[in-house]
Amino acid sequence: MKEIKLCECGCGNPAPIAKKTSTRNGHIKGRAVRFIYNHHLALHKIGEKNPNWKGGRTQDTRGYMFILSPDHPQANKFGYVRQHRIRAEKAIGRILPLKHPVHHHSKNELVVCENHAYHRLLHLRTWAYRACGHAGFRKCPYCKKYDSVEKMILRRSGDRIQYAHAECKRIYERKRRKTWRGLSPEVH
């Protein structure tokens, strides 16, 4: 006679029969398991009832604060939205499309950017200003030093355009060609 057992989550559905023995899951081949797949999650306390509840706020590994807002159109799969995005939307009074990133100028100052390219430009200028005191300078990808764009040449790297010192690029290319030929990469 086949054993009929109901799922222990309280849904009232019959629990499936284990196809193989699994000590890790507590299954015995031929016997009913305790829960239908993923029904054990119903026993976990969700939201404010969970002992790990932090008021609907969490932080990712890069330091961004997220606020629980499951009804927001741009919420992630767990229902969270970045706090600075919610603050910017509250300030302008409408939901921002995803094509408009929000830039942190400082801890309390936010800038709504027209597109991701403009957001990237703000970061480049901020990094340059912090490194050398001139927001208009660019970093050479070879020597890693900041300099005026008038003293640099344009260099294409895939779909990006970068500025580089002509001499740094020449030295790099000379080393690369020697390595291709199987010679020592030192420049003579």
Q: Model's pTM, two decimal places?
A: 0.61
Q: Are 100 and 115 in contact (CB under 8 A)?
A: yes
Nearest to 148 by CA among 166, 131, 163, 160: 163
> pLDDT value at position 128?
94
Neighbours of 68 (CB within 10 A): 17
> pLDDT value at position 105?
83
Residue 69: exposure state from Cβ atoms within 10 A (0-12, 13-18, ≥19): middle
- The values of phi and psi at residue 26, to 5°, are 80, 25
Tokens of 163: 């500025």
Q: 104-143 burial, b if ≥16 CB within 10 A, otherwise e? A: eeeeeebeebeeeeebeebeeeeebeeeeeeeebbbbebe
Q: What is the DSSP letter of 83?
A: H
Average pLDDT of the segment spanning 125-138: 94
- Tens digit of each residue's pLDDT (9 = 90 or more) over 139-168: 999 999 999 999 999 988 788 888 999 999
Name the pLDDT band for 57 (thresholds 50, 70, 90).
very high
Residue 81 has pLDDT above 90, yes or no: yes
SS3 74: coil
Q: Which residues make beta-bridge pairs with 102?
A: 112
> Where do the domains of the chain lie?
1-44, 47-112, 135-180
Residue 171: exposure state from Cβ atoms within 10 A (0-12, 13-18, ≥19): middle
> 105 to each of 51, 81, 88, 102, 167, how far by Cα in Å?
36, 19, 12, 9, 35
Average pLDDT of the segment spanning 162-177: 90
Least confident of 67-71, 168-172, 179-183: 179-183
> pLDDT value at position 146?
95
Rounded CA separation 76/121 (Å): 26
Q: What is the DSSP letter of 14?
A: B
Give the E-state strand segments of 95-137 in sequence order.
102-104, 110-112
Residue 1 has pLDDT above 60, yes or no: no
- Tens digit of each residue's pLDDT (9 = 90 or more) over 82-105: 999 999 999 999 999 989 999 988
Average pLDDT of the segment spanning 12-36: 88
